Each structure stands twice: as structure tokens, then as C-alpha cells.
Amino acid sequence: MAEERRQKLCSVILPTESMKAMAESVGVGSLQEDSCLALSEEVSYRIKEIAQDALKFMHHGKRRKLTTGDIDHALKLKNVEPLYGFQSQEFIPFRFASGGGRELHFYEEKEVDLSDIINTPLPRVPLDVSLKAHWLSIDGVQPAIPENPPPVPKEQQKTDSTEPLKAVKPGQEEEGSIQTKGQGASSAEVKGKEKMRMKPRSTHELSVEQQLYYKEITEACVGSCEAKRAVCVCNKCYLFLFQVRVNVVQNNLALLIYLMRMVKALMDNPTLYLEKYLHELIPAVVTCIVSKQLCLRPDVDNHWALRDFAARLMAQSCKTFSTTTNNIQSRITKTFTKALLDDKTQWTTRYGCIAGLAELGHDVIKTLIIPRLSVEGARIKAVMDGPVVSNIDKIGADHVQSLLLKHCASVVAKTRPLPDMVDQYKVDYGYLGTMLCSHVVKARAQAAFQAQTVNRTTLTITQPRPTLSVSQSGLSTSSGSRAPSIIKVPSSLTLMSTRPGTPTQPSPPATKYIVMATSAGAASTQQVITLSSSQSGSPVTSTVPSTPTSLQPLVKLESGNTGAVSGSRPLQKYIVVSLPSSSSSLENKSSSVLPSSTSPISMESAVKLERSESPAANTQSH
Amino acid sequence: MAAVQDGQMELDAEKETKPEILSDGTSNLSGNTASGTLSSSPLTAAPAGGAPKMEDQQTLIAVLQFLKRNKLTDSVEILRREAGLGEDQEDSQATDGSGGGKGDVDGGDANSLLSRVSITSAAAPQSVIIFHSIIFFYSYRFGKVGGADDQPDVSVVLSAYSQQGDPSLYQVYYSGLKNFIESVLDCHRAELSQLFYPLFVHMYLELVYNNHENEAKAFFEKFSGDQECYYQDDLRVLCGLTKKEHLKGNEVLLDFRTSRFVLRISRDSYQLLKRHLQERHNNQIWNIIQEHLYIDIFDGMPRSKSQIDSMSGSLAGEGKREVNKAKVFHGLLKEPEIEVPLDDEDDEAENEEGKPKKKKTKKDSLGSKSKKQDPNAPQQNRIPLPELKDSDKLDKIMYMKESTKRIRLGPENLPSICFYTFLNAYQGLTAVDFTDDSSLLAGGFADSTVRVWSVTPKKLRKVKSAADLNMIDKESDDVLERIMDEKTASESKILYGHSGPVYGVSFSPDRNYLLSSSEDGTVRLWSLLTFTCLVGYKGHNYPVWDTQFSPFGYYFVSGGHDRVARLWATDHYQPLRIFAGHLADVTCTRFHPNSNYVATGSTDRTIRLWDVLNGNCVRIFTGHKGPIHSLAFSPNGKFLASGSTDGRVLLWDIGHGLMIGELKGHTDTIYSLKFSRDGEILASGSMDNTVRLWNSMKAFDEVETDDFTATTGHIHLPDNSQELLLGTYHSKSTPVTHLHFTRRNLLLAAGAYNSQ
């Protein structure tokens, strides 16, 4: 701190080049170096002086930002003519340019065509100053109204929700006892309100106030006013389920889409602590995914998009909020699977289930959907080829089919070894096999193309994280119980081959994984690491071929230290990194990586356990 | 300009209704106003000693000569007129006064002038500084007329640095002293560490003055990190100065030079230092200490580090002990007795309600309160105050009625806060004020406008034009209502007139006038009946940062960038008093509730309390570590609260001249402070978008002001900010610019919404 300060205080002066440039700009061609130096010192001093005066004006203007006006006033203090033409409310966009070893900051002044200005319509007149009153506090308690900030910061919301007893206890907040009391009271109030509102929700009856309130908030959210929307949204999450129900009953598709967007907005808001409201939100979202009917005309309206959107939302919330205690992901998976396995499920619901599962990631697709492809294929076939039952069913089957193809193709492309034989596909996947095969081929071509581009631009990222690997290695032994913190590790990494050219190894999936080998000696081999994997499939998914790509070791391999043992071999370092993958798979694999180099490299494998009670959950072996 | 002139006439016309004010001021005011601007300095208002008259006159003449020689004819004119000196008198005095001095060239001549003044005023050493400030003031005011580079006073000031020493040895000297101080006993170390900063600055300036640029830079880099963090702002200014030429015209450093840095050091520590310096023959440092520092030696225990830290931080060190010894009449003035109308009103009210019993108790409580004479109160007529008009009496009655309905606040009973947000102000709101009855709100804006809002349903109306006024029946009872023009009724009015951002606004207590001070150097008086400008008070010439009406009206005070605060009366276009002494901008000005004193806060990080009667500075409070931006007197007049850019509120006991509390919690500049009507709660509003409430009663009660503390001025501050904080209220994104307690103790806050 002190050193920073000192650095700041060191007198900085303008470079003499600036003086020269300025001299040139006013027509003084050659300026002596000495004069430049003297000038720059003087100019620097004056600029500092003016800046200090300008600061005074900023303080008295009760602003945090220095404006050009402040500088003008400071100049006026010194009896200097202010600068004209620099009136700007916002910052002046200085541009930067460098070249020939010189750096230059300049203010880009565009030539403006006057006729353009004349012809453009006048901008909107800025609003006049107006005065608005609200209650910041009523008898010492801050009311929860839109004008006031959310009553408590996120951290405190967290403690409130996780430790409700502690939060009401007075005297522990740093704000002082009264403050705590006030907040305790207000949060109690809020809780009371929640209860009041939750009650009618279960009976599906609405009081007049609630109807009004509902109308109000929906208007605010659906309306155009962004600010208002944000405000309402932050306070009233718990109304969503309620709204969704209302709308599902009313089959109002448009409103449902709006509501889902609101949920999305809520989740994207970093300042909200949504955990408290998850039990309200998730049922609402699930409803939008799997509900039998979401709109009045299911054959015409595009409720499929809503389901897709909601499914993505669901996946997002699983990713963000799933913990050991709430088990969201496993519960959701269970729900979907159950519905999917049920024969009587409607096409719409079936679509929603598959979409919901598919969004959860490749591993879920692999373990839960692909095994069912043949069954679903048969069902689709029955509708498509059989007697026309109803148009709705047909549309539904059609959608399910395309959905299945879309999601499964990419997974199959990754997991299934080449070559892609249509007959084999037919055997494996039944009715859908043919189409799947063509999709897979397409997907492979795309992946290969992307892999090429990746290989061209090799990234070098070294992230030695010894502590992580230690904890991971510890994990590999403990299979059942694990510390919840580990689960939070966002995504497991997939170790790819170090020999990208080898035909037996599929190319890495697009842009997500990069393996680097940096070696001191050019002659070092690239074949230091080989991967051997255990069977990662579950009983249900035994058909899935186990390939090295399904391994997900969260590792950093360093052969450097041990390389010394082998003597002459130059230092080698293998680091496996993963770029943040957008669809992190939560399906867990065990893996082991065995290097075949002369040095026995210790390796760590990351093990992630599927905690869901889904049939595929019990994978763990070495 | 014409508009202003017109305004002046209008004002005069209005003032005719109360000519007694003018004549009333005979005893004190008129005498002083005759001497106009100068009356602030003790030159005319000096305590009657043996022969102060003669000395004063000589000093004056010296000043005149000085000004003349520098061709500051305007100043000479004004000064002469104000002092009432004839030209011949001055000439005769001059000829037999300074023989040798006249022949000299510029620099020497100023020196001789100085020496002469110091001879004449040897008995009163203060007047040297006063003399300085006068010269400063005049040259500052008119310096630009006379030519910017012609500033001989600067060379006078700086010439003290001309002594030569080996520049390379400065570092050795300083680090020698540093080693010594670090090796002394703990109890002395803290005290002697105070020397570091002033020595550092003076040594650096000496180096710079003597053109040892590189040595100066090296010196700065080596030792600037050792200085206390609260001097960083000054150091930043200092580090830019690397050339002798820069010293000219840098006010901060001139101030540093002209005023001696005051240190309080115990006798033991001082002896220790003295012995050390004499042993080492370290004359360089000793000279600086002798010349530029004022060491206030006291007997007794050395102070601890925290004690020193709480008091230090100002630009010129702590206040000397004796400056805070003057008696301050901090009590309140006796309330005027308004009996008859009160009874009438009460009767009516109570008859309606049918509770005649209540009346007696109410009357008693009010009566006893007003009759009690505070021993600390100044005499009722210590400064002449305007007489109450009928409308004022009515207002007083309203006030009393309201105050009976006042909520008694306390830690268990916090006030409600109503927040007035200025929307679409585009970062332009610079000042806000409420009327005492909370019916009007005024905002000053960076676009030079002043806007007045009515926050009650009653709309703002202008008075009818002169032609229309002739038509109305002047005998009717509701003539006051009839003169208003209904067509002009609106919720807000805009006042145009300033040519720069408006930094201060203040309503007169009778709600008929509004003052505004602006960057353009003027203070303007606006009529809230016609919504026009009446007078533009010129004098500051530089931005006027703040202005406030006296609680009794008529007087007002303003303070600005020219480092002086001025006391004005609405009917005088020149100030009645100039309060000079601050070393940097006067950022805020507040009247004491009894109107006899004015408190000013400044960028030099001190607060000064000035006596309106004689213009003396009666208190200097040091301890803030940043420019002071808000001040508030407690309603009983005993205490003062101040807030600064460092986010701390300090509480001061005016009677004892002591710091009595420190309220920490804000994270940004405190722009507003206000005590509740009964002084139970202090509200502070800050740039950090919060309003905080503090238990001021507890803070004041816990103070032990025993005789020892009072005499030595050594304070032990309890660190109890958290206990005293009663509540924090965040606004969404609105810095709190102003706070106001209504008569019923509802807290009003105001600020402009900041959309970023």
C-alpha cells in the first residue's frame, strides 16, 4: 500500500516528444531538446495544478467524476481562457495508436457533414429535473419498496436463508443492534407475507389484493419498462409458480414465455440469492417443460420452443444450484426419466422430458436417452407409419424424433468408434438408426473441421494447481461420500489424446480441450501418455462402447521431476487443461491414466459421482 | 447588470418597512461597517490596550505604502477610504517613518517594510501574521489587476528560504533526526514524530527554492513515504513542485510558509530534542524549527500517539492552546415572548377540541423554557438583530404549536426519513436547502440555475405586476392573498442569474428570500415573492462555496475559494466582516443558533469559529484529515459536528474547545449533517449513498470534560462509533446532499439520483 502510494507520488512528467508534437502542430519546426525538457516540466506542473483545482470543483459539484467543466472552471481560476469545444458529459474517447516505437493517444475528431446534422431528426429533449419523494425509513425501518435498494445484500440473504435462527438474533450485526432488530423485523414480515401468499396458492384461490398484485407485477414484467421489471423481479420470485399455474390453466403461451424469460433474468442476476426461492422456481420451470398442454392450439403454436427454452433454463439452474443437500439434478433427472419410461406419456410431455434430459449434458444423453432410442424409435414408427390417430400426435412424434436426432447424434459421434455403418446403427438403435447414422456422419465432419481450426491455434495455458490434484487423487479412493466442496468444481476435464493424428482416437470435440506437450528437447516423443480406462458404463448403458474420450480425469501430469530419474531424458511437461466447456457434463466417470513413458508418472484421476438415483448412477471402478 | 441595479432598488424599497435595523446597528455595526472590509481584522477591533491606535495606524500606513509602491491603486483607494485616513496623513507618516526603505528596490523594500511593522508591533506578535494576511488578501484580490507576475509579497515570503546549506547534507540531517527520534523512548517518540512532516516540507521547499532540483527530488523520494497517510494530498501537491518558479503563485505552500506550523510538545520531549540538536550542531534543522515552526510547549505527560493523531492532520498543525481559551457565549438567546396571539390560537384550538386543561400545561412549559436565562448566553443585544415582524411572530407561533407535536426521538424511537430524489439532474445538483417549516425546497444546479419547489400542495405564486397591484384594495384583510397572481401558480420556479454552478443555497428564516452562491464569485439574493434577483453581492471574486442566512435573518455569511469568509447584511452591498485566517478555501459556513458566531470549515482541514461582533477567531479545531464539507451546530448551541471527505464525523465541545467524539462509518465524503430538533440524534448524509443516524445524546453525555482535559486539551476519545450508530439507510444510487429535520422531527433527505 505504502509503496503504491509512493509510486503514485513520484513526479511524472510529460515526454518531450509530446512537446515536439505540439510545437509542430502550431508551426514551430525545430525545438531544442533543452527547451522541450523545460517546457514539459513546466507544462506538467501546470497541468497538475489545474487538475488539483479541478478536483475541488468536482468535490463541490458533489460528483465522483471529473468533468471537462471542472477543468474549465479551474482554468478560469487561473485567469486562463477555458478550452472551448470540449463540452462532454461522458468521457472523451481517446484513441491509442502506436507505430515505429512511438505511442500516441489522440482524440478522434471526425469530419462532420453539416447537411447530415441538419437532416437528422432532432434528438429527444432531455427530461426536466423533477422531484420525487419516498420513504427511506419509517420509524427506523427501511420499507421494502422499489425506491429503496433490496433490503439486504446477497451475503446476508445467504446467512438469513441458511441460518435463519442466527439472523434474528440481535446484536451480532455490525450495523448495531437496532439495525438488526429492524432487519429482523422486516425479514420476519417478509416471511409472514410469503406464508400468506403461499396459502392460497395451494387452494388455487386468489384474494382481490393478490389478483391486483399479480396484475401489477405481471404488467411490470411484461411491460416495456426495464427498470420497473428489474425491481419487481427482485422482490417477488415466489409468485412465479403461482403465475405459471395460472397461465398453464389459461393456456397462455405468450405469457409463459415471458415468465420463463423472467426466470432466466432472475438467474442471470448476480446480486440475487435465489436459493431461497428454488422450491418455487423449479416446479414452475418443470411445468413449462413437461406440461401436457401449454397453449390453446397445440397443433399450431410453437410451444416446443418454450419447452426447449425451459429445458435449457432447467439445465442452467441444475448447474448453478445443485448441491449435495438439495440434489436438484438427481431429482430432476429422476422426474424426467420416470415420465419417459411411462408408456402412457403424451408426446408433448415426452418431448419435454427428452429435452430436459438432453440439456443436462452428453453424459445424461448417453446413459439415459441413447439406451432408449430403439424403444422411442418404435413408438415413433408406430405413429408415423400406422393409421392416422390424430394430427397432434403426429406432430408430437415428429418433434420428438428430430429432437432425439439432434441431441443423440453429437453424443454418438463422440462415443461410437468409426466406421459408421447404417446396418449396425439399425441394429443398435432400431427405427431411428438410419437417420441417426446420417446425422452422426454430419456431426463427425463438423467436429473434424473444428478440430483442425483448433489445432492451428494452439493455446498455451499452464495452470499448475497442485492442491487440486491432491484433493482429486484423494477423491478417487473415496467413492461414496465426498466433500460437497469438490462437487462444486465446475466441470471435469477430459483428457484427450496426445496423438491427434492417430486414427483410432477420435479428434477432440470442438474447441473445448487442448492438450499440450512442452518439452525441452525437440526429440522427445509424443507418446508419453497413454490412457487406459476402466469400463465406465453402467449396467444399463452397457451398449455404449467405452472409449478413452469418455474419460474425464481432472489432471495435471508432470513428468518433469520423475524424468530426472530416467537420466538422459530431457525435461518434459504435460499439462492437460480444459477450456471452460459450455455444457459441462455432470455425469461422472472414473478414469485412470497410465503413462507409458520411462518415468512412472503419478497420475490423478478425477472421479465424479452421479448422485442421482437414475439407473446409470452407480459407476465407479478402477 | 441593469437587472441587479433594479433589484437593489427593489430591495431598498422593501427594506423601508424596517428601517430600524439600520439605525439599530449604531453601537456596533455602523461603527464597523464604516471600516468595511477591514473591520474583521483586529486593526480596528483590537482590544483596547495601551496605545493600539497609533500602532494600528502605522501598520495601516505601511500597508498603504506597500500597496502604492506596487501600483495597486485600487486597493489603496479602498483601504484608505475604509480606514478613513487622509492622504496627507499617510504621507507625513511615511516620510518620517521609513527613510531607508524608500530607496531600495522592490524586494528589499518589502523587507524593510516587514521589519518596520514587526518593530511597531513587537508587543503584539499576532499582528505580523495579520499584516501578512492583509497584504495577501489585497494582493490576492487585486493582484491580477496589477499584473500577475508582479508579486513581491511572494518573494518576501520565500526569501526566508534563501539561506544556504549544503544541499547534499539535507538527507543526512533529516535521516539523522529520524534516527534520533526513532531511538528515543516510546513516550517521546510519538510527540517528536510530529516534527517529521513540517521539517520535511520546509527542507524540501528550501532545496527547491535554492534550485537544487535533483537533490529535492531525491529528498522527496526518500522520505515522502515516511509521512503520515493523511498528508498524502499535500505531498501530491508538493511533488509537483520542482522549480523555484513554481513556488510563486502556489497558495498552499505560501500558506504553509506564512503561517507557522504549530506543534504541541511536552517540555520533556522538547528538551530532549533541543539537547540532541545542539549536541550535533545541527543548525539547519534548528533554524527551521526556530523560523518556521511554532512549538507549543506544555508541562506534563507527553501525549500518546492516538492523542496526537486525533488532533493532527491540518495544513498548519494544531491550533495553539491559547486560541481556544477565549470565552464563547454558546448559549441560546432568550426567546421573545409572544403571549397574546398564542393564547388566542390556543383558545381556538382547544375550544374546538374541548380540552381546556391541556392549555395550561402547554403554556407553562413554553413559558418556563423561554424565561430561563442561560449563563452562557450572549447578551440579547450583543449583536443587533432585526426586530420581529408580525409575520415572524405568526411563524413563531406556528413553530411552537408544531414543536408541541414533535416526536421525541431517541435510540428506541428513530425518525422516519423522507427522501426527496432529484430525477434527471444529470449529475448537476450541487446544493439543496429546505425552509425551516419544510414547505419549500431549493436546489442549486451546475447549469447556473436555482430551482425552487413547493413540497406542500400550496403552489408557488408570484406577486402581481405593479399595474395590477394598483387595482387591489389595500385596506382589505386578505391583502396579502390578493397581491398574489394566481396565474403564475406552479409547483416549481426557476431562478436565472448566475453564470456558473451554484454551490450554496439558503432560505431566509421568513421564507421571503433565498440566497445562492456560485462559481461566478457572487452571492445573489432572490425574492421568493417576485422570483427575481434582488441583489448580487460581489466581493469574493472567486467561487463562493457556501452561504447561509443567520437564524434571525438579515445577516448572512459566505465563504469561498479566496480563503475568507464574509459576513454580510442583506442591505449592504459590502461585507460587514471578513473572517480571514484559513489557509485554504472556505468550504462551508454555518451560523451559530444565537447568531453571534460563525463556524467555517476549510480545505486546510481546520474548523474555525469566528465572533461576529469583532471578527476574531475564537476557536480552531483540528483533527480532520480531509477537506471539511459539512458543519452542524447542536440546537442548544453547545456542540458542533463536522464532516469531511475522510468519511468521519467529529464532534466538538464549543465551550471547552475540545474534540469530544469521532463517528466512523461513512465511506465517502459527508456532505450533510443535521441535529434533530431536540439534539437527540445526529443525522449524516454522504456521497456513499447512505443516511446514518447517530446517538448524539450519548456521545455528548459520555464526555468527561474535567478541568485537566479542558486546560491541557489532551483528549481521550472512546472508540464507540458502532455503539453510537443507530441506523444506516441506503438509497439506491442517490448521494445524500442535504438533510433537514422538520419541526416535528421528521427527517427529510435530498439528493440527485445518479444513474450510473
Alpha-carbon distance of B346 to B357, in angstroms, equals: 11
Single-letter amino acid code for the residue at A360: L
Residues of chain B contacting A132 with CB distance shorter than 8 Å: 420-421, 423
Average pLDDT rounded to a whole number, residues B134-157: 43
Cell numbers representing residue A186 in the block? 422486516
b (16+ CB within 10 A) / e for B735-748: bbbbbbbbbebbbb
Instruction: Name, of A391-405, B148-162, B194-208, the range with top average pLDDT.
Output: B194-208
Residues 43-62 (A) with a CB less than 8 A from some CB of B: 44-45, 48-49, 52, 56-57, 59-62
* Cβ–Cβ gap B424/A142 under 8 Å: no
Give the whole-number percent of chain A exceeding pLDDT 90: 1
Distance CA B630, CA B643 (A): 5
Question: Residue B135: exposed, middle, or buried by beta-carbon count in 10 A (0-12, 13-18, 19+)?
Answer: buried
Query: Given an 8 Å threshold on Cβ–Cβ distance, is A136 in contact with B545?
Result: no
Nearest by CB to residue B242, choosing from A11, A138, A179, is: A11
CA distance B63 to B55: 12
Positive or negative, the Cα torsion across A17, A20, A24, A25?
Answer: positive
Which candidate, A338, A332, A379, A386, places its Cα nearest to that of A360?
A332
User: Looking at beta carbons, which residues of chain B come within 8 Å of A59?
Assistant: 627, 629, 645, 669
**Hunting for cell 522541450 — which residue is that?**
A36
pLDDT at position A90 = 59
- Please say if the pLDDT value at position B545 is more than 60: yes
> Using CA atoms, how far apart are residues B419 and A378, in angstroms rounded to an integer?
68
Name residue A445's amino acid: A
Find all residues with CB under 8 Å of A594, minimum gap 6, and list them: A530, A531, A532, A603
* Structural contact between residues B646 and B624, judged by C-beta atoms closer than 8 angstroms: yes
Q: How far apart are CA B688 and CA B645, in angstroms?
A: 11
pLDDT digits 0-9 by tens, B732-745: 889 999 999 999 89
Q: Coil, strand or helix: which one is A563?
A: helix
Question: pLDDT band for position B453 (50/70/90)?
Answer: very high
Lowest mean pLDDT among B152-166, B207-221, B461-475: B152-166
CB contact under 8 A, B671 and A178: no
Copy the grid coordinates of residue B404: 408541541
Q: Is B446 on the interface with A (CB under 8 A)?
A: yes
Average pLDDT score, chain B: 76
What span, in angstroms and rounded, lies between the C-alpha atoms of B86 and B92?
10
Q: Which uninterrupted H or E stretch holds B549?
A: strand B544-549
3-state secondary structure at position B124? coil
Residue with cell 415468465: A259
User: What pLDDT digit, counting tens, does each position of B27-65 carry?
Assistant: 343 333 333 333 333 333 334 344 445 556 677 777 777
Of B411, B422, B627, Cβ closest to residue A59: B627
CA proximity to B703, closest of B630, B654, B647: B654
Average confidence (pLDDT) over A104-115: 78
Residue B16's contacts (CB-CB under 8 Å, 6 or more residues apart) are: none
Q: What is the mean pLDDT of residues A194-212?
A: 46
Grid-cell match 447556473, residue found: B448
Which candidate, A531, A541, A576, places its Cα nearest to that of A411?
A: A541
What residues have CB less than 8 Å from B527, skipping those under 6 apart?
B10, B14, B512, B513, B533, B534
The x, y and z cell numbers of residue A561, run together, are 521431476
Asked if B192 and B269 count as a contact pair (C-beta separation under 8 A), the reply is: yes
Query: Would you place residue A463 in the very low, low, confident or very high pLDDT band (cuts 50, 70, 90)?
Result: very low
pLDDT of residue B355: 42
Residue B671 pLDDT level (bands cut at 50, 70, 90): very high
- State the Cα angle at A433 between A431 and A435, rounded to 5°: 100
Q: HSE of A366 in the Cβ direction (CA atoms, 13 Å)? A: 28
C-alpha B259/C-alpha B132 separation (Å) is 9
- What pLDDT does A591 receive? 40
Tell me if B418 and A89 make a contact (CB, 8 A cut-off).
no
Average pLDDT over residues B264-289: 82
pLDDT exceeds cutoff 60 at A529: no
Supply B78's cell numbers.
479602498
Report angle CA B509, B514, B520 to the nearest 5 degrees. 140
Minimum distance, in Å, between the CA of residue A144 and any CA atom of chain B: 12
Q: pLDDT tens digit string along B412-447?
A: 889 999 999 999 887 789 999 999 989 999 999 998
- Residues B171-187 have pLDDT tens digits of 888 888 888 888 888 88
Looking at residues B591-612, what average pLDDT do you find? 92
Query: A 316-375 residues with CB below 8 A of B?
Result: none
State whether A11 and B413 contact (CB < 8 Å).
Answer: no
A144: confidence class by pLDDT, cuts 50, 70, 90: confident
Q: Which three cell numbers stand for residue B715?
A: 483528549
Report chain A's terminal Cα–Cα distance, integer Å.
51
- Please, which contacts does A429-432 make with residues 24 or more away whose CB atoms are closer than 8 Å? A429/A370, A429/A373, A429/A374, A429/A377, A430/A373, A430/A374, A430/A375, A430/A377, A430/A378, A431/A374, A431/A377, A431/A378, A431/A380, A431/A381, A432/A373, A432/A374, A432/A376, A432/A377, A432/A380, A432/A401, A432/A404, A432/A405, A432/A408
Say whether residue B561 is in contact with chain A using an 8 A CB cutoff: yes
**Tens digits of residue pLDDT in A161-182:** 554 444 333 333 333 333 333 3
- How far is Cα B600 from Cα B562, in angstroms, rounded to an integer? 13
pLDDT of residue B493: 92
Give the residue-averaged pLDDT of A589-594: 40
Mean pLDDT calculated for residue range B604-621: 92
Q: How confident is the model at residue A4 (pLDDT cuts 50, 70, 90)?
A: very low
* ipTM score: 0.76
Q: Are B665 and B724 in contact, with CB atoms under 8 Å apart?
A: no
Contacts of B117 (CB under 8 A, 6+ apart): B58, B59, B62, B127, B128, B131
Alpha-carbon span A577 to A515, nearest angstrom = 7
- What is the pLDDT, as a whole number, of residue B95? 41
Answer for the pair B402, B33: CB distance below 8 angstroms, yes or no.
no
pLDDT in tens, A53-99: 899 999 999 888 888 888 889 998 888 887 776 666 556 667 777 77
What span, in angstroms and rounded, lies between the C-alpha atoms of B250 and B208?
13
How many A×B Cβ pairs under 8 Å? 179
Give the global pTM: 0.59
- What pLDDT is stored for residue B566 in this prediction? 94
A566 to chain B, closest Cα gap in Å: 53
What pLDDT, on the 0 to 100 scale, is given for residue A491?
39
Sheet containing B492-495: order of strands: B429-434, B440-445, B450-454, B492-495
Q: What average pLDDT does this structure show over A275-303?
A: 75
**Residue among A8, A64, A179 whose CB faces B727 most closely:** A179
Percent of chain A's residues with pLDDT above 70: 50
Q: What pLDDT shows up at residue B519?
A: 92
Beta bridge partners of B578: B566
pLDDT at residue number B535: 93
What's residue B323's pLDDT? Answer: 78
The DSSP bridge partners found for residue B727 are B693
- B597 pLDDT more than 80: yes
Beta bridge partners of B672: B685
Q: Express each pLDDT in A9-41 by its tens digit.
A: 556 778 888 888 888 888 887 888 888 888 888
B512 and B17 in contact (C-beta within 8 Å)?
no
What is the reported pLDDT for B83?
Answer: 65
**Residue B442 pLDDT:** 94
List helix spans (H) across B415-538.
Answer: 466-471, 479-482
Interface test with B, best of A60, A90, A91, A181 (most B CBs within 10 A): A60
**Would the pLDDT of B502 be above 90?**
yes
Report the share of chain B in percent with pLDDT over 70: 72
Cross-strand bridge partners of residue A137: B417
Measured in residues, chain A has a length of: 622
Q: C-alpha grid cell for residue A381?
A: 414408427
CB B611, CB B321: distance < 8 Å: no
More confidently predicted of B644 and A248:
B644
A484 pLDDT higher than 50: no
Q: Which of B229, B246, B448, B459 to mutate to test the interface with A (most CBs of A within 10 A)?
A: B246
Interatomic CA distance for residues B440 and B448, integer angstroms: 19
Task: Please state at what angle helix B283-292 crosses helix B169-183, rounded to 10 degrees.
Answer: 80
Contacts of B422 in chain A (CB under 8 A): 129-131
Q: What pLDDT sits at residue B397?
A: 86
> Shortest CB distance from B420 goes to which of A59, A79, A133?
A133
Nearest CA to B505 out of B541, B556, B565 is that of: B556
Over the stretch B630-655, which tens digit does the pLDDT of each residue have? 999 999 999 999 999 989 999 998 98
- Confidence category of residue B497, pLDDT binned at 50, 70, 90: very high
Q: In the predicted model, what is the mean pLDDT of residues B440-466?
A: 91
A460 against B622, higher pLDDT: B622
Chain B residues lying within 8 Å of A63, measured CB to CB: 427
Nearest CA in chain A to B544: A60
Q: Is the pLDDT of residue B455 over 70?
A: yes
- Cell matching residue B322: 491559547
Q: Predicted confidence band at A214 (pLDDT cuts at 50, 70, 90)?
A: low
Per-residue pLDDT tens digits for A351-370: 888 888 888 877 888 888 88
The per-residue pLDDT for A609 is 37
